[in-house]
Each structure stands twice: as structure tokens, then as C-alpha cells.
Structure 1
């Protein structure tokens, strides 16, 4: 019997578990660990709450989770409740599928001002992640600045701009829903260092900005290259740029008919956040492109900013005893191999790139490497989950099984407001109470 521990129950973790079950069938036992009592990682706490069709991929992971040789082990903190070294003594292979849950930060003055928030924290706040449930951003100002030109920046801008009715069908948590209903934001500026041809926004998500009930997107015509140059772009980017051209063509008179403007400020790089205690302005330097890179021109300007959300990328959380590449913000590895018997997959391996679906071939490729390693290795017999269960019992760990997670899910569905699929628990104690009311 081959024993595999996978740390992280998001897409990378469950695709890897799926691949292991297909590779070895009944000759493998896979334990999928998560620090929270609930599974699915960024599917639950990263995907925008108004994108329920994307969240539906969890049904595929549920099929894997209910298989006889895969087990969910929730509410276990790796590095605190149990170490990597201890897991390696129990399992033949330990796979880190922990994603990239930490914000990359802008190393500029004023980054520590109040209401300057990283996207991991802001998205976690409106998605109900227990770590960020108490964030309480101040939405009483008129101006929000969102820094970044990827889909996360679009998510943040769209959530800030939506009307109450447009959240019907979403699972945005109650504390965020209530705060957004009272928001006084009138202008949202999306800032990017480069231009339209360098954006990372996908057409579907970008197009949604043009369909909002109470917000109008705006792009400056001067930021757009000649339209005939679009022909050289790959199809996805060409569609995204077409949306930007549509936004630029919206007349000023039409923009004035809706209470919120979503403005694109391209060729601008933030140099400082300004304010006494809370952010009040963003200082930016105008940029130009040199061989595709953004280069400062020395000309600066300022934008009013009562809220700033930085959406400039993510980093993996280091784990004691695991080699880490500080510059890349992920585990140091060669094609997923970190040390003998220790592997990584998904964002923990390659950094925060690709879509949810990208993790499937990544997980399958890693299992092929593990199979190759153990075909040629003189493998010692290890205890796997039986050994872990004894350790957990001795330490008094309150493990959450997948069947118990389903009870949490049922309780969240029962608590949902009208038009919402669920009302998420936003703290671990409440989740545990839903499982064991008498505890």
C-alpha cells in the first residue's frame, strides 16, 4: 500500500488525489489535509461570490472525496498541529498543494496606512474566510483605487460597484453584503503599469463591467493603440481589447446616467500612498513601454483614494523545514520535487499562474513523477493514516471528516438569505458547533 499525504484541499490538492486514485486504484491511500474544517481552498474563498458556475467544479472534487481510498482531514494545521517531518515519517509521499494565500506587497511609502488592503485580504473578507472576516474596510469615502490589471482586480471593482439586486444568486457573506449596500463609493479607478496589450484580464470577466446596473466603465482613447494593430493579438486578448474599445466609445453623457464610474488608468505606476493615518491619495508615475517593460517617465500625478486594494499577485506561505524560493514566492522545487518524498503542485509549485483547470494536468503530471520515483525506490513500509490517527488522538486534534463537512454545508444552506445558495460560517468555532452542537 502506498500512503500519500496532500496538504491543501483546493483544486491542485483534489486533482492530485484524483490522479493518485486512478494511478494506483485500491493500492493507494490518500489523506487530503486542510487547516480549516471546510474543503476546496480558493473555490470557496477565492472565486468571486457572483461566479457560482465556476464554484460548481467542487462537485468533481466531491466525487473524489467520497471514494474509498481518499480521505479529507480538516481542521489540522500543518506546521502547528503536526510537522512536515512527522508526516514524512508516516507517508511515502507528502505533496504540498497549499496554493499562494499571501499578498505580494507594494514596497512603497504609505503601504501601512489604514484602508490600504491586499486583494487576498479583501477577497477573503467578502468571501467569508475566517482569517479576514474582521477586516471591516471603510467604504464611506467616494474614491476607490484598485491596483492591478488581472481578473482579481476586475472582481474587486465589480463587487464594489454592484447593486444590491445584482448579488442575488451569489454567496457573498452577510457582513460584506451589508457593508457594500451602505457603500458611498462613486469612482473606482483600476490602475495598471502598462497598456491595453499587456492586460491579464479575460474577455468574459472584462465584459461584465459593461453590464453593471449602476456603473459605467471608462477608458481614455489616448491609451488605446491604433485599432488595426489588434490583428496581431492572440484571440483572447483581442476580445479583451475590443471590450476596452467599447468602453472608450461610451459618450460622457451616458456615463453621467449611472452613479458609479469605473475608470482605467493605464501607463501609471504607484509610487506612494499618501495620508495622515488613513489613505487619502495615491501618487503615480506615468510610464512608457520599452521592449514590453514599463519604464517611468519622471512625470507624477495624484488620484484621490479613500480605499486602495492592491491586486498585484500572491505568495505561498513558507513552512518550517521546507526549502523556499523567496524571490519567486513559492517552494523551491524542480518540476514538483522538493526533497526525497516531498513534492509540491499547483501554485505552490509554479506560482500564482494559470486557471483552476491548469491544476488538473499539473496534478496528473506530479503523480507520474511520484510513480516513477517509487518504482525505482527501495521503499520502506510506512503506517500512513493509521499512524496519523494515533498521533492525532494522542494530541487531542479535532479532525473534521468529509461527511462532517457536509453537515456544515447543510447548515450554511439552511441559514441562507433569500436568493443565496448559502450563508457561510466565518469562524472555525461556528463551523465546529455546526458539526457537534453538544460540544
Structure 2
């Protein structure tokens, strides 16, 4: 019997670390790990020890004889990976940690998302290192709380890993504290030997077409934050009165939005979706969602697990084009059975969707490949339609527009073409790449490329908005290793002030600081309300509500 990894896989690689026979790939040491959709268990190498099941933070791994029917396709998905990936089993080797001085090192981490927590997880293992984590929101966990779709509760299980970190005695929260307002970057540098920025990429990328700012043309980033209860977006108003919605882009976020728009609201009512979003979705008129992609299925930016999960939606048809147009290179590779296994699975799933009969009265998610929007048409009252041009392949996987154009009537356009970082006060910024320039997580100056001692970056602000939780784990660990190495080598700057005055300093400047006790009080309030309503949690969505809940814990630690 072998074990099988299924859809909730978060790619954080914790299962790799505990596998005694190296049967889970790609590993964090393999180049493909940085772009992998998920991890895969080699059925020929697995020894059925069960260590990965116990370690998986999102409960994504099962014995092959205990799979739910909906997860049975993952037997083939796991096995297919090893058709074109030759890996060797064997004992996993771990790198020896450097010898650290006995001196204390205080590290400030700005941000409280996955990249921040995975760095903290590594740092707090060392008794000499104390970690202070800052975030401008009263709640931690970043996009795990405000980005993961509410109907993907298992993925949120990674919060258990973060919860274990926050309980460490050498870890301290400074939530509801904004760096740049309540404490400056220079003041952090004065108080900490190392400052790690893991602030993500919070803005949406633009389409750059006429009509993009009309009412009814919205960013997927905003919509996701709204239905997930992010305090900055709780007061937003989204009009779902159009029967047809168009999503531009075809990554996982695009599929999340499409799924939320057509899922029966009563199914969502059992999740932690924000109450205000649930109320609006109950009145939604959306019946069809068109997912517009400028390339074909072979270049789909969504993962196979997210694609496969669309087929489990009750009362929803997944509609594919009559013909899947592939590039010449992909078509040739498919014909001689040399197509990459992940792409081959994507194409196979698309054809299986195409063969399914459509049901009268069902809602629809319609994939429209090789199409690019050219203009969003409307007026001050809102969007009326989207004009687009049809694309074609011209060799080497390249595309170009054709003379074929079209128009889609819609009152809702969701732009889902990626995230973009923004400048961070006190740090250089590469405007072209929208990242903080760095070398092995160490921040570089904006001119000659010299390292700025004691400054580090991790996550999307370091590498751009690519990869999910798993890649952020590797990225956070890399940043932690850089800090530890610099500490061991004695190259971190010595603080000129003691960090013990931080609480007094930020409080004097108006911060209603939330510590661990305050966050646990918020967590308890939300989960208690959720239990009463038969839900995972009922989120508090305003800063005032969150602050009031936190204060119920008293002054805390």
C-alpha cells in the first residue's frame, strides 16, 4: 500500500523532512520545487510508514485504500509525475547548523503571513534568538486568513503550524502596529540586530486597457479580501446583479473567484466566509462565469488540483471549448507521449470536462482560451460589455492577435492577472520587478548592489508574486538561514537601543497593540460564534471589533 497526496497540498515540504526513504518530490532541494503545483508520492518507493500523514499540516495525505471517491484521480496524478521524473530513494540528509555565539539576537519580522512564520519557525529553534513579529492588522496569518478561499478549509490547517510558533517563549507579537506609523524602519534597526520584511505583494496588476476603472470592473485581489473579511475591504460594495461575469486571467485566484460566484450560498454558509459577503452572494444573479485566458489550456496558470475541484461543484457545469487548441510543440509532444506530466494531466482533465453532459438549469463556468480583452465598455453606471481579440499560436509557444474579435455582454469584470508589490519605507525598491532587491534574502542597496547589513526580505516582496504556501516556506527558511549565518559570522550590526521600550513607544503613538493573549481572545470569540452557527469561525471584520475582542483578554503578556 502507498500513500497519496491530494488537493489540499500546501507544498510546505514538512512531509519531505520526515520521509525516511525520500519518496516525496520535488523536495525543497530540487529546482522544480519552486514551481511545483503540489508534491507527489512515488508509489514504488513509499514504505507505508505513515510519518507524512502525521506531519502534513493540511491533512492532504491518505493511504491509497482510504481515498474518498472525489480524491481517487490523485492516484493517477501522483503516479504520472514519476513517468517523466527520475528520482532516487534513500535516506534524507540534513545540513548541519552553524555554531552560534552565546549572545542574544533580537530579530524583528515585519509581516505575519506564511513567509514570515516559516522564517520565525526556524529562528525560534535557537535559544539565543528572540523574534518580535509586527503586522498592521490585529490578526496574524496573512493570506492564509485573508486569501485562501473559505471553501478550502483544509488548506487553512497550516495555521496549526503557525500557532505552534507563536506559543514559543522567545516569540512576541506586535499586532495592530504599523511600521512607518507607530514605529519607523530606522527605529527598528536601532533596536534589532536583524529586521526581516515579509510584507507580500498586496496590489493587483493592471490590464492597461480602456474602461478598466469603470464601476463593475474590479480587482480579484479586492474581491477575495472582501469575501474573506479583510478589514480594509469589509465596507466595499460589489454589484452581482449581472447574469454573466467575466474573469480575465486563469490562475488559482481566478478559479477561486469563479467557484465562489457559482457555489450555492448555503454551501458557503458553513464556511468562514464573511457574513457581509454571504448576504450579497445570496442575492447574486450570476449564472455564468467566463474565465478568459490569453493562451490555451497547456499554459493554464491554475494547478491541476484546483482545476479538478471544479468538477465537484453541485449544480455547476464546467464548459470547455469544442476543440482544445494547443501549440504545435505541445501537440507534437502529446502525440509522441513526451508531454510533461503536469501539462498532460491538465489537458486530460480538460477533455474529461468537455465530455461531460451539460444539465439544463445548471450554472456554468465557461473557459475561453486564446482570448485577450481589448476594451471594457460602459459608462458611469457601470460595465456593459467586454471587447476581446482572439489569439493564435505562431511557434515556440508564442501567440499573436488575429483579426477575429468579439464582444461579451456583462456587468461584472474581474481582473485576475496577478499581484504586485509596492515600495517599502526605508528599503530600496526595484520598480520594474516590483520587489526589494536582494541577494540570498539579504537586502541590496539601490545603486552598487552592496548588501545592507541586518536587513532581509522573504516571500513575495523578495521574489515577486509566484508560488504559494510551500514556496513561501522555502523562502522563509532561506531568510532565516541567512540571518543565522550572519549572526554566526558576526556581521550583523549591534543594536544601539534596547527593544524593551517598543510597547511603550507604539502605545504613545496611538497603537492599540494586540499581543498573543489578545489574538487568542479574538480567535476564541470567532470560533465560539462559529461553533454556535455550525461554522469553522465567524470572522470579526472591523478593526474596532477586533480591538474590542483583544482587549477582553486584559493586558496580556
Q: TM-score range by the shorter chain?
A: over 0.9
Specify which of 119, 122, 126 is matched with residue 19 of structure 1. 122
Change (3 A) 1:437 1:71: closer
Q: CA deviation at 1:390?
A: 3.7
Higher relative helix content: 1
The residue that corresponds to 1:284 in the other structure is 388
Q: Is the 8 A contact 2:430 2:436 kept in 1?
A: yes
Asked whether 1:273 is paired with 2:386, we answer no
The residue that corresponds to 1:432 in the other structure is 547
Q: What is the CA–CA distance in structure 1 between the aligned matches of 2:258 and 2:332, rounded to whole Å? A: 26
What do you get for the CA RMSD once the two structures are aligned? Answer: 1.9
Q: Which runs of 5+ in 1 are unaligned?
A: none
TM-score normalised per structure 1: 0.94
Specify which of 225, 233, 236 is matched with residue 342 of structure 2. 236
The residue that corresponds to 2:467 in the other structure is 354
How do 1:72-151 residues align onto structure 2 when only pairs under 5 Å count?
72-151=173-252
Change (3 A) 1:393 1:355: closer
Q: State the secondary structure of the residue aligned to 1:300.
A: strand
Deviation digits for residues 108-162 of structure 1, max 9, x if unmatched? Answer: 1001100111111000010000111112210111110011111111100000010
Change (3 A) 1:341 1:413: same
Q: What is the CA–CA distance in structure 1 between the aligned matches of 2:385 and 2:179, rounded to whole Å? A: 40
Q: CA deviation at 1:269?
A: 0.8
The residue that corresponds to 2:428 in the other structure is 323
Q: What is the CA–CA distance in structure 2 between the aligned matches of 1:352 and 1:378, rounded to whole Å? A: 28
Q: What is the CA–CA distance in structure 2 between the aligned matches of 1:342 and 1:85, rounded to whole Å? A: 11
Change (3 A) 1:317 1:16: same
Q: What is the CA–CA distance in structure 2 between the aligned matches of 1:324 and 1:381, rounded to whole Å? A: 24
How do 1:33-432 residues align onto structure 2 when only pairs under 5 Å count?
33-225=134-326, 229=334, 231-251=337-357, 254-258=358-362, 260-277=363-380, 278-290=382-394, 291-338=396-443, 339-374=452-487, 375-377=489-491, 379-383=493-497, 385-416=499-530, 418-432=533-547
Q: What is the CA–CA distance in structure 2 between the aligned matches of 1:11 and 1:200, rounded to whole Å? A: 21
Q: What is the CA–CA distance in structure 1 between the aligned matches of 2:373 and 2:152, rounded to whole Å? A: 30
TM-score normalised per structure 2: 0.75
Work out the number of aligned pairs and report it. Answer: 434
Higher relative contact order (CA 8 A, sep 6+): 1
Q: What is the CA–CA distance in structure 1 between the aligned matches of 2:300 and 2:492, rounded to whole Å? A: 49
Specify which of 104, 124, 131 is matched with residue 30 of structure 1. 131
Q: State the secondary structure of the residue aligned to 1:409.
A: helix
Q: CA deviation at 1:30?
A: 0.5
Q: What is the CA–CA distance in structure 1 between the aligned matches of 2:237 and 2:513, rounded to whole Å? A: 30
Q: Which runs of 5+ in 2 are unaligned?
A: 1-103, 444-451
Q: What is the CA–CA distance in structure 1 between the aligned matches of 2:231 and 2:495, rounded to whole Å? A: 38
Q: What is the CA–CA distance in structure 2 between the aligned matches of 1:211 and 1:34, rounded to whole Å? A: 37
Q: State the secondary structure of the residue aligned to 2:127.
A: helix
